[in-house]
Structure 1
Amino acid sequence: MGHLTLAAFTAVLCCLFLETEANPFVYNYEGLRIGGLVIVGLLIAGAVVLLTYNQCARLARGKQSDDSGI
């Protein structure tokens, strides 16, 4: 029984190592490109929000202060 287990274990290890040599790692360039574009889009959207937030807050404060003075 022990020899059969050892033979099965050896066969499984050989199959695993032979399979990795037969199928080298290949990059998924399409997925990598789409992921990069999504990240760039989020960064650009965040930058636009940060740049316009101060302008919008200033406009909102300016309108409130003008109405309270009248």
Structure 2
Amino acid sequence: MKNITLSADENLIADARRRAAAENTTLNAQFRLWLEGYVGRERQAAKAMETVRELQGKLRTGGRKFTREEMNER
């Protein structure tokens, strides 16, 4: 695991450490969770777009245009 250095307001860091301790964790552990989520959303969006592109090549309507009502039917 690689170390990084961040800077933030001293009081904010102290408050964050107290909250982490109250939740039986550490500020480092909470930051790692945040970082995974931050990167994960981008990865998830990229994967979703890839799936959409794959489906666009496979789905056909036979040239028929659907009305708004037909597209929203459930």
TM (norm. structure 1) is: 0.47
Higher relative contact order (CA closer than 8 Å, sequence separation 6+): 2
Between Structure 1 and Structure 2, which shows a larger proportion of helix residues? Answer: 1
TM (norm. structure 2) is: 0.45
